[in-house]
Amino acid sequence: MSKAMVVDDSRAVRMILSRILREVGYEVCDAANGKAALVRLAEEPDVSVVLVDWNMPEMDGLEFVRCLRSDPGKAGVKVMMVTTETEIDRMVTALEAGADEYVMKPFTAEIISDKLRLVGAL
């Protein structure tokens, strides 16, 4: 079974995304911010996809993506930014930083599944 990580400071969003990921066959772990996610990724080296929010305390999603992409050992990890940031320049910034896809909140299970397929994670 593939493993996914959900990174969001909202417990409710973590639960919703985790449920969607489990329904499509992922084992799921989570973290409340980018800093905690980096620690968790060191403990869970088999994570193949990360869904990350932009706006979080301690380390936001953009900084997390940049840190993750600076680690050659994590180059194969697919990253999907799932955020309330709807401006096109924010999307471009996230993709340039290394996010593979971008989903705007609110989302549906179908949108998440479609984006996972698009990046080859389903």
pLDDT in tens, 21-67: 999 999 999 999 999 999 999 999 899 999 999 999 999 999 999 99
CATH of the domain at 72: 3.40.50.2300
> Domain range holding 37?
3-118
Task: Tell me if the bond preceding 106 is cis, omega within 30° of 0.
Answer: yes
How far the first Cα of the chain sits from its last, in Å, is: 11
Mean pLDDT over residues 64-72, rounded?
A: 97
Q: What pTM, to 2 d.p., does this model score?
A: 0.96
Number of domains within the chain: 1
